[in-house]
Every structure is written in C-alpha cells, then in structure tokens.
C-alpha cells in the first residue's frame, strides 16, 4: 500500500473560495494555481506538479478543485471562444488534476476528493442566468459521480460542493444583487462557510458519503 500524507492539494487556492479553503487547512494545504506556477488547464504543467508532489510528499490525503471561470450571457449570445474557456477552466482542469493525483490515493486506499459545481446545476430546469456555465457545471457533477463509483472500492470518497451566492473579491456583484431578494436567508454566503463544508468533507467523519452534490445557497433552490 502506498503511503498517504495529511496534505491536501487545493487547485485554485489563491483567490476567493479556494483561498478560504487553503487558509482553513493551513500548513496541510498544497496550493496549485497559475500564480504558483501550475496551470490546471495544461496537461504538462499538471503532470510536472504531480510528479514533484508525489516524490516530495507522497500521496495526498485530499484533493480540492475550486478553480473555474464564470460567464454570464444568453446561450445564443455565448461566444464559442468563451465557451471553450469555460470548458477548459471548469471541466478539463478537473479531469487533468484528478487523473494526475487520484491514482496515488487509490493506491494508498484512502483519501477525499472535493469538486466545486454551482447551486442549481443539477436541477431539471432552464438556467437562464448563465446557461453555458451551468451546463458545464452539470457535466462536472456527472464526472464526479462517475469518479466516485470508480474510487469507492478503494475507500476514496468523491463529493461536490455547489455554492450559491457567495461574496468574495472576485464575485459578480451586479448579478448577486439582482438575485439576492430570492434567497430565503436574505444574505450572501461567506467563503468561511464554504470552507467549513469542505473541511468536513475532508475529515475522517465523512468517510461513508460519496457521490453527493451538497448545495450551500441559503435556501435559493427551495
């Protein structure tokens, strides 16, 4: 059995929710971001980072993928270039980092994977606010469920966190102000609240839950 450490790879851990997750994990966080020299949309960059990590620290306990661009436009007005960027940042990056890291966790027969989607992405209804973005996040949820099924025999869990309106320095304020009156709790969520959910999903106590999509949106989907 491969040796597993206590460290957690946080992809996108220098901004917004990702930074809050990395801060909550403290010294356990291994941050991958373009600012730190790792481009999660580039297979070679991910491969080099993963090889370095596995040699220096061994298999991680956890992998948190919380990077991904947002784009708000009607579907018929969505530029193909922007759609391609959305796929690369939200979906391709998740595939690349899981393929690079998760096999070592399977060999260690333990670990946690947390991916980020968006509240409402799994609903059977039109998403007029940002249809291309939500379609890609829905694909990410299905990717996570398939990965969860592959990983379950090795005791590696895979779950999704789907935030609603969360305030941080890169949040889309105009869009959030427009939707806020529909939130039953009457306020925006915080990055600390999201980080708390992630910390539980990374814990030993979450070991019997996998393949789930956890919505954190103040009741917006009710």
Cβ-proximal residues to 124 (8 Å cutoff; 6+ apart), any chain: none
* Angle at the Cα of 103 from the Cα atoms of 54 and 66, rounded to 5 degrees: 80
Q: What is the mean pLDDT of each run of 10 residues along the chain (222 residues)?
A: 78 94 96 96 98 96 95 94 97 98 97 96 85 96 98 98 90 84 96 97 97 96 92
* Angle at the Cα of 118 from the Cα atoms of 112 and 121, rounded to 5 degrees: 110
- Assess if residue 166 is contained within a domain: yes
Euclidean distance between CA atoms 4 and 1, whole angstroms: 9
- Assess if residue 1 is contained within a domain: no
Looking at residue 3, its pLDDT comes to 55
Longest Cα–Cα distance in the chain: 52
Neighbours of 123 (CB within 10 A): 12
- The number of folded domains in the chain is 1
- Assess if residue 165 is contained within a domain: yes
Catalytic residue, chosen from 32, 71, 133, 134, is 133
| CATH code, 180 | 3.40.50.720
Q: Is 133 a catalytic residue?
A: yes
Looking at residue 1, its pLDDT comes to 43
Looking at residue 207, its pLDDT comes to 97
Looking at residue 2, its pLDDT comes to 52
**Domain, as residue range, for 110:** 8-216
- Assess if residue 2 is contained within a domain: no
- Assess if residue 221 is contained within a domain: no
């Amino acid at each position: 059995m491969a040796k597993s450490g206590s460290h957690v790879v946080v992809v996108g851990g220098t901004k917004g929710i990702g930074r809050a997750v990395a801060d909550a994990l403290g010294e356990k966080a291994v941050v991958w971001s373009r600012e730190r020299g790792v481009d999660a949309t580039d297979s070679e960059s991910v491969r080099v980072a993963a090889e370095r990590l596995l040699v220096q620290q061994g298999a991680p306990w956890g992998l948190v993928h919380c990077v991904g661009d947002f784009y708000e436009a009607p579907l018929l007005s969505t530029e193909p270039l922007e759609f391609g960027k959305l796929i690369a940042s939200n979906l391709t990056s998740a595939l690349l980092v899981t393929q690079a890291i998760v096999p070592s966790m399977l060999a260690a027969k333990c670990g946690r994977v947390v991916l980020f989607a968006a509240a409402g992405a799994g609903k059977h209804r039109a998403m007029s606010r940002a249809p291309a973005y939500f379609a890609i996040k829905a694909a990410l949820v299905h990717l996570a469920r398939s990965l969860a099924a592959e990983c379950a025999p090795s005791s590696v869990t895979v779950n999704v966190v789907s935030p609603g309106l969360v305030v941080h320095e890169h949040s889309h304020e105009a869009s959030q102000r427009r939707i806020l009156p529909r939130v039953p709790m009457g306020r925006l969520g915080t990055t600390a609240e999201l980080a708390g959910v992630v910390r539980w999903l990374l814990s030993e106590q979450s070991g019997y839950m996998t393949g789930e999509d956890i919505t954190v949106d103040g009741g917006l989907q009710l």
